[in-house]
């Protein structure tokens, strides 16, 4: 990009030099002098600058000094326009515009096997995502195939997180290769957006506490989580099969955490007064803003602002309730 700007600067300087020179020698107006400088430099030559000795000598000097620079500059600009760098710049501009229109989206840092699984899960549920990874050969084909917004860059860089819209994001997950990188991403994200939910992967069990202290909302250790799940299958295989329904691809059931906003039409209603049951949705727990939990909640429990409702039921109905949880009474 610096080479292109330098080339454009040379062309402008050459044009200005010719404009000033022609105006001083011939006394023409600024527009006419600019016109004569351009047609002389491009060798169009539809009109002579002048027939006096000074004009002819200036044209000879101007062409001798500038024609080579002009030809080289035009060649450089043409090569840049058809180059991959130009297309990458256009793609980056298009992606920046697309990401700037997102609000309440999720940022996934790392596009390995775990990051890809997270993206697919979120995309299947209609969530907006932005993928960040430094490996262009790995991230570009996958994201273009699924039409996911992506950024080729270092997720530990604050500017990259800002480009990904961290200030407007609802959540961020970091599944980079090392705990050190994940820790750095958590610190940066928490400073840039104190309200964002951060889910981090810990490769080493010793890193879990550090990631939590750095600001991670939840820390997941894949090895420990996998081991616990296998143990649960050993103890309660039938229950685990039932819970697995909520995570199965293409299934009609969904397990979700619904956040009740202050303007929600559900605020002030008792559970028995809502349409949850008729929609095929069951509330299995309520967490108050104070941290108090109602599990299971009674039918006369009143829904309050900032409550978290843990529900299980028909996926379409759950998604409809999630959308209504932010809507005010009409």
Which domain CATH number covers 75? 1.10.287.70
- Whole-angstrom Cα distance, residue 135 to residue 138? 5
Which of the residue ranges 85-99, 137-151, 302-316 has the most confident prediction, judged by mean pLDDT?
137-151
Inside any domain, residue 16: yes
Inside any domain, residue 161: yes
Q: For residues 277 and 175, which has the higher predicted lDDT (pLDDT)?
A: 175
Under DSSP, the state recorded for 298 is P
Q: Are residues 160 and 49 in the same domain?
A: no
Supply φ then ψ for residue 211, to 5 degrees.
Answer: -65, -40
Lowest mean pLDDT among 24-33, 111-120, 300-309: 24-33
Number of domains in the chain: 3
Q: Could you tell me the residue range of the domain that residue 11 belongs to?
A: 2-81
The pair of structure tokens assigned to 26 is: 């011939």
Mean pLDDT of the chain: 81
Q: Are residues 202 and 121 in the same domain?
A: yes
H or E element in which residue 171 lies: strand 171-174
pTM above 0.85, yes or no: no
173 neighbors 222 (Cβ within 8 angstroms):
no
Band of the pLDDT at 189, cuts 50, 70, 90?
very high
Q: Are residues 132 and 197 in the same domain?
A: yes
Inside any domain, residue 243: no
Mean pLDDT, residues 105-129: 90
Q: Are residues 117 and 221 in the same domain?
A: yes
CATH of residue 201's domain is 3.40.50.720
Inside any domain, residue 90: no
What pLDDT shows up at residue 253? 67
12 neighbors 27 (Cβ within 8 angstroms):
no
Band of the pLDDT at 330, cuts 50, 70, 90?
very low
∠ CA(325), CA(328), CA(330), 5° rounding?
130
Inside any domain, residue 40: yes
CATH of residue 319's domain is 3.30.70.1450
What pLDDT shows up at residue 154? 92
Mean pLDDT, residues 158-182: 92
Mean pLDDT, residues 51-80: 73
Q: Are residues 213 and 260 in the same domain?
A: no
Strands (E), the chain: 106-109, 129-133, 150-152, 171-174, 197-201, 218-220, 253-259, 281-287, 293-294, 308-314
Q: Are residues 203 and 120 in the same domain?
A: yes
**Percent of the chain beyond pLDDT 70?**
83
Q: Are residues 35 and 150 in the same domain?
A: no
Q: Are residues 219 and 264 in the same domain?
A: no
Q: What is the CA radius of gyration of the chain?
A: 31
Task: Kindly tell me if the per-residue pLDDT of 171 is higher than 80.
Answer: yes
Inside any domain, residue 235: no
Q: Are residues 108 and 205 in the same domain?
A: yes
Band of the pLDDT at 249, cuts 50, 70, 90?
very low
Q: Are residues 148 and 207 in the same domain?
A: yes
Q: Are residues 162 and 220 in the same domain?
A: yes
Inside any domain, residue 232: no
């Amino acid at each position: 990009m610096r080479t292109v700007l330098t080339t454009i600067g040379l062309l402008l300087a050459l044009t200005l030099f010719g404009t000033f020179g022609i105006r001083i020698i011939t006394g023409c107006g600024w527009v006419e002098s600019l016109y004569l400088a351009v047609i002389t430099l491009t060798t169009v030559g539809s009109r002579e600058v002048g027939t006096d000795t000074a004009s002819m000598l200036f044209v000879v000097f101007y062409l001798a000094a500038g024609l080579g620079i002009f030809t080289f500059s035009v060649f450089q600009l043409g090569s840049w326009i058809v180059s991959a760098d130009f297309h990458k710049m256009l793609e980056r501009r298009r992606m920046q515009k697309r990401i700037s229109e997102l609000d309440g989206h999720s940022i996934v840092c790392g596009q390995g096997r775990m990051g890809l699984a997270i993206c697919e899960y979120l995309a299947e549920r209609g969530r907006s995502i932005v993928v960040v990874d430094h490996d262009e050969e790995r991230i570009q084909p996958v994201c273009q195939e699924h039409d996911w917004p992506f950024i080729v860059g270092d997720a530990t860089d604050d500017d990259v997180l800002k480009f990904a819209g961290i200030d407007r994001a609802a959540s961020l997950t970091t599944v980079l290769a090392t705990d050190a990188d994940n820790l750095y991403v958590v610190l940066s994200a928490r400073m840039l957006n104190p309200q964002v939910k951060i889910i981090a992967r810990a490769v080493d069990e010793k890193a879990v506490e550090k990631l939590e202290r750095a600001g991670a909302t939840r820390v997941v250790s894949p090895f420990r989580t996998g081991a616990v799940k296998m143990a649960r299958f050993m103890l309660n295989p039938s229950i685990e099969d039932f819970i697995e329904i909520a995570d199965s691809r293409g299934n009609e059931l969904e397990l979700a955490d619904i956040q009740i906003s202050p303007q929600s039409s559900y605020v002030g209603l008792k559970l028995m007064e809502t349409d949850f049951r008729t929609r095929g949705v069951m509330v299995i727990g309520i967490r108050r803003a104070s941290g108090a939990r109602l599990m299971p909640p009674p039918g006369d429990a009143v829904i309050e602002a900032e409550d978290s409702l843990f529900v299980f039921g028909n996926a379409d109905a759950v998604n409809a309730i999630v959308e209504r949880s932010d809507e005010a009474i009409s």
